[in-house]
Amino acid sequence: MGSKNKLKRFRENETFNNVIQPTREEVLNNFPHKGKWHSFFNNNNPIIVELGCGKGEYSIALAKKNPDKNYIGIDIKGARFWRGAKTAVEENLKNVAFVRTQIELVDLIFSEHEIDEIWITFPDPQIKYKRTKHRMTNPVFLRKYFHILNENGIVHLKTDSEFMHGYTLGLLHGEGHEVVYANHNIYHNEGSPKEVIETQTFYENQYLRIDKPITYIQFRLKY
């Protein structure tokens, strides 16, 4: 993507009422929407967060299917989620929003127990050991998720990375968390949850064309 297109998208994001782009300092110093997301959506419906949302494909698709739930996509790359934000505006989807910030700040964006579900879709597996701290299911991140999820909150991990699937599953079992469902090839299993196989990202479709297995884990955190 050229720099001109990026700048155009950044400017357009500023006009969308479903996009919030705080500075890091604003997040660190009492982010105004923290604990008040139901007021932002003007309802008390469940709140579902997509971390590393990219173009917002999952947030948009799920928001269309579930108008009685609120969806928030989080990504640091605003030029990417511009597509999702623009689609939401064009299709008058009132139950979806996007926040441009670092994912490691997620526990400062939401209050304790404010979230019902978290989706992590096709994250960078960060295979090298020195990149462990950046894996989105490492113990530090799991603690952050536990903080913002309600008592029965669910985390969904969908990935094409066998490494990420195995790493996460081992960690969950080792720390005593509840694995609700796990499958290493969801499109070759009749029992896969519909919401997992009915929504596909652009890159996921590419993986499926070459028959690359897509894995999925649904879990609850227990501390």
pLDDT in tens, 75-120: 999 888 999 999 999 999 999 999 999 999 999 999 999 999 999 9
pLDDT in tens, 123-134: 999 999 999 999
Fold of the 3-220 domain = Rossmann fold (3.40.50)
pLDDT attached to residue 1: 57
Q: Which residue from 105, 88, 93 is spatially nearest to 69, judged by alpha carbons?
A: 93
Average pLDDT score over residue span 139-153: 97
pTM of the shown model = 0.94
Q: Residue 13 pLDDT > 90, yes or no?
A: no
Residues designated catalytic: 124
Annotated domain spans of the chain: 3-220
